[in-house]
């Protein structure tokens, strides 16, 4: 079911309940040796349990974008329920203010997305992960 329809029929709270259960399940699998790439939605960090599971059981890469960059990319997207408002730019700024500190708290690595190609972003992520493997463990 599309997220927008789920929000309309069941509300954001139930969506976040399901999201939390899935994050718990997937990060537990990753922790026991089944490596995964999990591309979360932006609101995943709103729940403390999600932040804890992601931080403790995985490597989190925060692909940071400014509200202006997100607006440029999403201005024609009608499937994001939280952006179906009169002033989506104001909503993006509000969401950024709310979520950015939570992502910074959760992330092991942060990459500014700007306008690089997908390939360039992938290379930046691989480089960050490679550097992390070469770094001595924190004492």
CA pair distance 124, 128, nearest whole angstrom: 6
Q: Which structure tokens are listed for 62?
A: 């925060």
pLDDT, tens digit, for every residue of 78-131?
A: 888 888 899 999 999 999 999 999 999 999 999 888 777 888 888 888 888 887
CA pair distance 8, 120, nearest whole angstrom: 36
Q: What is the CATH number of domain 3-134?
A: 3.40.50.300
Share of the chain above pLDDT 90, in %: 55
Residue 20: phi and psi, rounded to 5, are -60, -45
- Residue 75 pLDDT level (bands cut at 50, 70, 90): confident
- Work out the average pLDDT over 50-72: 93
111: Cβ contacts below 8 Å, ≥ 6 apart: 61, 62, 63, 64, 121, 124, 125, 128
Q: Which structure tokens are listed for 13?
A: 């709270």
For residue 137, pLDDT over 60 is answered with no
pTM of the model: 0.81
Write down the mean pLDDT value for the chain.
88
Share of the chain above pLDDT 70, in %: 93
Contact assessment for residue 50 and residue 44, using Cβ atoms and an 8 Å cutoff: yes
């Amino acid at each position: 079911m599309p997220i927008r329809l789920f929000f309309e029929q069941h509300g954001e709270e139930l969506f976040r309940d399901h999201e939390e259960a899935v994050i718990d399940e997937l990060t537990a699998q990753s922790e026991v040796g089944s490596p995964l790439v999990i591309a979360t939605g932006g609101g995943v960090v709103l729940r403390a349990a999600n932040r804890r599971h992601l931080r403790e059981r995985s490597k989190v890469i925060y692909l940071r974008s400014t509200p202006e960059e997100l607006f440029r990319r999403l201005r024609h997207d009608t499937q994001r329920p939280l952006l179906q408002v009169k002033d989506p730019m104001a909503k993006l700024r509000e969401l950024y203010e709310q979520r950015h500190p939570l992502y910074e708290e959760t992330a092991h690595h942060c990459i500014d997305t700007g306008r690089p190609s997908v390939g360039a972003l992938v290379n930046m992520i691989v480089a960050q992960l490679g550097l992390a493997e070469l770094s001595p463990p924190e004492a």
